Amino acid sequence: MDKDLSLGSTAASAPDVAADPAPTDTDASPDPAAADAAPDHPTGASPSGIEDTPAKPGLDDLVAGWVGRALDVYPRPGLPLTAHWDASAAGLVRQVPYVPRFATKPLELLDRFGAVHVGPREVGFDGDAVDWDRVIELRTHPAWSSLSADALEANFAQYLSVIPRLPGRGWVLGKVSELLVSLYLAVVPLPDDVARLLEVGDTSDDDTEEGPEEVAERDLFTRRTVTEIVYKRRFGEGERQACTTSVLLQLAFPESTDAMLALAAERGVRVMHVPVDEGEMGATIKRAASWRSAALGLRERFARAEGPTA
């Protein structure tokens, strides 16, 4: 899939195409015609859905083709953002055409899990959105600090616990695992890229502002995402934490992070770019190759354990 995740921008609001062959709108804001279902042919096409885009050697064989095409047709938040937008694991899986009816119920259980929400009125993760009037601070971290192999495995375990053993569970979890591993492999650098990333150095300059073109060119592994939302409670303060899926979705749709930061600035909400240690960054990047192997091994173990119709 490589760095093509940020291509194909389309200004649109929240998309959540229904699971049945005839799409229906599950959110009041989006136009159901805004995104056509992506053909489910995992081979014979580039993961990005853009035939002329060269991919890194061997990566096509590791990424489910339907994921790249689903990302290409999934509506992206327009900037400035004037309507609610969200993205979720379940919403992307629904881009597979002709989702089997037996998978409808398990998909519904994931609607509030592994998601990013942002709009003029609220912001949040995993079905828990907070009114901007209550938001105190947004905190960002570079992607590499949130994407260890252990974090990915823990996120897999959460999906396993959300869906009980009912018809369609294996199909849905299989697609979710393909989605997460595909997004993960698109972000975690190949061994050949490690030396280049180590030369780049720390990317935690709080005063750096990125334009759309700079964002598209920037390495996803070092790009900052919103990982914490601090908000006012009736008594004290609370925090919303982004899970691994939410971080991966922000990297797949970088406009979502840009929209959060722009809306925060517009409302006078404090943004904290949490400092990182440059030495820690180097050590983490050097472990990236082992993380890729762990992600692929996790996908294989997951497939064997669940089976196609578990």
| Domain residue extents for the chain | 79-306
pLDDT the model gives residue 255: 95
Quote the pLDDT of residue 193. 66
48-62, 191-205, 221-235: lowest mean pLDDT where?
A: 48-62
Of the pLDDT bands very low, low, confident and very high (cuts 50, 70, 90), residue 51 is very low
Q: What is the pLDDT of residue 280?
A: 75
pLDDT of residue 7: 35
Token code pair at residue 39: 């053909």
Mean predicted confidence (pLDDT) in 260-274: 97
Helices (H) and strands (E) in the chain, counts: 11, 10
Average pLDDT over residues 288-305: 75
- CA-nearest of 176, 183, 110 to 147 is 183
In the predicted structure, residue 132 carries a pLDDT above the cut 50: yes
- 104 exposed, middle or buried (CB, 10 Å; 0-12, 13-18, 19+)? middle
The reported pLDDT for the residue numbered 83 is 95
Helix axes 169-187, 244-252, angle to 10 degrees: 60
pLDDT of residue 63: 57
Question: CA-to-CA distance for 268 and 247, rounded, in angstroms?
Answer: 24
Confidence of residue 91 (pLDDT cuts 50, 70, 90): very high
Query: What integer best gives the mean pLDDT of the chain?
Result: 75
